[in-house]
Amino acid sequence: MTHYWLMKSEPKECSIDDALAAPRRTVPWVGVRNFQARNFMRDTMQVGDGVLFYHSSCAEPGIAGLAQVASKSKPDPTQFDPQSAYFDPTAKASEPRWMLVDVKALKKTRLLNLPELRATPNLADMLLLKKGNRLSISPVSEGQWRVIRRLLLG
């Protein structure tokens, strides 16, 4: 069964353009340091799942492209690197705390911003739009996926 996800990335860290320019259009989704988001990658995500590539913490946040999960979860190497902003001194190689999946960019789209998402009645229950939600990875229902694809691709 295919699952669908919204995955947030700061464009200064990794934009949809960066992902499209990467070898095989694939980037490791490093730096997730939230247990719930980690658990989605570790326990639920499967190769081929659909991804809404979301630009966050920027002048105009929004969905900027379509992607797919391209690998099973694996340890995030940044947790072990003292030079990394994502270093976790409590993580052990024998028991990694933080995981990642590879994400393959499929297509850059027009930016579907928050006001437009909020103005779409069929998206009212989307986790991204819930007050106080700050998850970097959140599930998207199949119905929400179809509505967003229609808004993005016509």
Summarised one tens digit per residue, pLDDT across range 65-118 is 999 999 999 999 999 999 999 999 999 999 999 999 999 999 999 999 999 999
> What range defines the domain where residue 24 resides?
4-153
Q: What three-state secondary structure class fits 122?
A: helix
Look up the pTM and report it. 0.96
Q: In the chain, what is the straight-line distance between the N-terminal and C-terminal CA atoms, in Å?
A: 25
Burial of 121 (0-12, 13-18, 19+ CB in 10 A): exposed
Q: What CATH number has the domain bearing residue 77?
A: 3.10.590.10
Calpha distance 61→80 (Å, rounded): 30
pLDDT digits (tens, 9 = 90+) for 14-69: 999 999 999 999 999 999 999 999 999 999 999 999 999 999 999 999 999 999 99
Residue 154 has pLDDT above 90, yes or no: no
pLDDT digits (tens, 9 = 90+) for 55-68: 999 999 999 999 99
pLDDT at 83: 97
How many domains would you assign to the chain?
A: 1
Contact between residue 148 and residue 105 where contact means Cβ atoms under 8 Å apart: no
Beta strands, E only, 29-143: 50-55, 62-69, 74-75, 99-100, 102-113, 137-140
Give the CA angle between residues 95, 54, 56 to the nearest 5°: 85
